[in-house]
């Protein structure tokens, strides 16, 4: 027998989402049915938003901190950590039954101001490994971005090995990456270790070069026995700019799979700069580009997670560019609008998820 409360609850959800009421109700459920995890980036202040929290809990099975695990947010003075904000995200995930992924332990960016001079003066490896240990020993994570964006971006001048300039490269040379992964494996043997990067999703010539550089870089790590489990493909797409080339992307994903690596889509969002002022047209283009991307990556069993870089446009940063600011431009990058209504991107994701072939 159906209780009155359940009937009321069903009625309420039908009212809220009439179009989707008969079909799928959550991205995490569709993903789980196809053998992968759906999640999102979130920031600790979002957990105070009563409109948003139920959505996050209903839709996502995994969270990644947008800021709170970056070193500038954590290690306020050398060796002095403020874990409060990150603790709150982990506590929320635990209560809600979500898993966590970590972002990020070693990056050229978002480091505390004191770190660069100290590193240059001491070149002490503990400034690298000590942080990795401090974070991994405190928090249980399903996966973690051990190193983020170590390669020079597509179209920029790079060294022969493709590495970008950074405080880490200055202090230790290219070996900092191996050191970081070994330290991470020792500190958290059960956590999937990820190299996270952007720039191989699109079709331009500079992306071709970047894909080749990335494969050489990964081959180097694997040949040296570096404990790497997955490639994090950020998935920052552009609906009106440099578009995804499905054939090139498919080939690249096959190369990742051939190396025995998992593929995690870690920061999916779709920028709509350059699009028309008509919001419906922009939303459709955003949805289409995501669909073209997801259809390719989800066609490989290597792909084991999809996370969006925020679930709602309410929490997307305003553009940096002054011209866009003057236009009052608001990005429409995520599956939900600022009023927590589903957008065409949500439907495109649900359809792409549901269409994944199950390989096992
Ligand atoms: O979205 C993040 C932005 O608000 C921060 O200012 C910035 C520096 O901490 O990081 C942004 O997130 C980036 C992520 O950490 C790594 N990949 C690119 C993301 C920006 O799109």
Chain segment 264-279, per-residue pLDDT in tens: 999 999 999 999 989 9
Pocket test for ligand 1, best of 267, 268, 271, 311 (most atoms within 8 A of CB): 267
Number of structural domains, the chain? 1
- Across the range 208-214, mean pLDDT stands at 98
In a domain, 87, yes or no: yes
Reported confidence tier of residue 187, pLDDT bands at 50, 70, 90 = very high
Give distance in angstroms: CA of 209 to centre of ligand 1.
24
CATH number at residue 237: 3.20.20.80
Question: Quick check: is 342 in a domain?
Answer: yes
DSSP sequence for 178-240:
HHHHHHHHHH-TTSEEEEEE-SSSB-SHHHHHHHHHHHHHHHHHHHTT----EEEE--EEESS
* Ligand 1 contact via 318 beta carbon (within 6 Å): no
Is there a domain that residue 264 lies in?
yes
DSSP letter, residue 271: E
The mean pLDDT value of the chain amounts to: 93
Residue nearest to atom 11 of ligand 1 (CA): 66
Query: Is the CB of 267 within 6 Å of ligand 1?
Result: yes
Output the CA 309–ligand 1 centroid distance in Å. 9
Is the distance from CB of 174 to CB of 161 less than 8 angstroms?
A: yes
For residue 95, pLDDT over 50 is answered with: yes
Q: What is the average per-residue pLDDT within 161-176?
A: 98
Is 317 a pocket residue for ligand 1 (Cβ < 6 Å)?
yes
> Residue 311 burial (CB < 10 Å; 0-12/13-18/19+)?
buried
Q: With respect to residue 41, please indicate whether it lies within any of the assigned structural domains.
A: yes
The answer to whether residues 309 and 269 touch, using CB atoms and an 8 Å cutoff, is yes
231 neighbors 195 (Cβ within 8 angstroms): yes
Percent of the chain beyond pLDDT 90? 88
Q: Is residue 18 part of a domain?
A: yes
pLDDT score, position 7: 34
Helices (H), the chain: 4-16, 27-33, 53-59, 71-74, 84-96, 115-122, 126-138, 167-172, 176-187, 205-223, 246-258, 279-297, 322-326, 344-354
> Residues 113-165: pLDDT tens digits?
999 999 999 999 999 999 999 999 999 999 999 999 999 999 999 899 999 99
pLDDT tens, 308-347?
Answer: 999 999 999 988 999 888 888 889 999 999 999 999 999 9
For residue 112, is pLDDT > 80?
A: yes
Answer whether residue 12 shows pLDDT above 80: no
Domain that holds residue 307: 4-355
By the 8 A CB rule, do 158 and 213 touch? yes
User: What is the rounded average pLDDT of the residues 39-49?
Assistant: 98
Residue 252 lies in a domain: yes
pLDDT band at residue 24 under the 50/70/90 scheme: low
Answer whether residue 360 is part of any domain.
Answer: no
Ligand 1 pocket member 269 (CB < 6 A): no
What pLDDT, on the 0 to 100 scale, is given for residue 327?
86
Is there a domain that residue 64 lies in? yes
Kind and range of the H or E run holding 77:
strand 75-77
Centre a 10 Å sphere on the Cβ of residue 39 and count the other Cβ atoms it contains.
29
Question: What is the Cα–Cα distance from 258 to 255, expressed in whole angstroms?
Answer: 5
Q: Which atom of ligand 1 is nearest to the CA of 70?
A: 9
- pLDDT of amino acid 328: 85
Question: Ligand 1 centre and the CA of 240: distance in Å?
Answer: 21
Cα(66) to centroid of ligand 1, in Å? Answer: 7
pTM confidence score? 0.93
Does a cis peptide bond (omega within 30 degrees of 0) precede residue 104? yes
- Closest residue by CA, ligand 1 atom 6: 67
The answer on pLDDT for 5 being more than 90 is no
Quote the pLDDT of residue 358.
81
């Amino acid at each position: 027998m159906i209780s009155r409360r359940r009937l009321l609850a069903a009625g309420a959800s039908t009212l809220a989402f009439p179009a989707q009421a008969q079909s799928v109700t959550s991205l995490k459920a569709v993903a789980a049915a196809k053998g992968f995890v759906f999640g999102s980036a979130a920031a600790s202040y979002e957990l105070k938003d009563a409109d948003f929290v139920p959505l996050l809990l209903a839709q996502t099975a995994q969270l990644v901190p947008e800021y709170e695990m970056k070193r500038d947010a954590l290690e306020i003075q050398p060796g002095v950590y403020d874990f409060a904000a990150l603790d709150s995200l982990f506590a929320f995930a635990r209560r809600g039954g979500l898993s966590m992924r970590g972002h990020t332990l070693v990056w050229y960016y978002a480091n505390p101001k004191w770190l660069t001079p100290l590193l240059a003066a001491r070149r002490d490896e503990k400034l690298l490994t000590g942080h990795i240990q401090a974070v991994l020993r405190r928090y249980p994570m399903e996966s973690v971005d051990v190193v983020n964006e170590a390669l020079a971006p597509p179209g920029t001048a790079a060294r022969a090995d493709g590495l970008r300039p950074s405080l880490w490269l200055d202090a230790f040379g290219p070996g900092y990456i191996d050191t970081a992964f070994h330290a991470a494996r020792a500190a958290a043997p059960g956590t999937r270790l990820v190299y996270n990067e952007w720039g191989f999703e699109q079709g331009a010539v500079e992306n071709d070069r970047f894909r080749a550089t990335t494969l050489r870089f990964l081959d180097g790590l694997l040949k040296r026995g570096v404990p790497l489990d997955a490639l994090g493909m950020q998935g920052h797409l552009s609906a009106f700019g440099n578009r995804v080339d499905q054939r090139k992307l498919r080939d690249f994903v096959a190369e990742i799979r051939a190396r025995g690596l998992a593929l995690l889509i870690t920061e999916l969002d779709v920028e709509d700069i350059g699009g028309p002022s008509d919001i419906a047209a922009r939303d459709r283009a955003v949805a289409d580009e995501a669909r073209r991307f997801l259809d390719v990556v989800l066609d490989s069993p290597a792909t084991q997670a999809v996370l969006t870089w925020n679930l709602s446009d309410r929490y997307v940063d305003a553009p940096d560019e002054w011209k866009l600011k003057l236009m009052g431009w608001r990005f429409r990058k995520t599956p939900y609008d600022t009023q927590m209504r589903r957008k065409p991107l949500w439907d495109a994701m649900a359809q792409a998820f549901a269409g994944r072939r199950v390989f096992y």
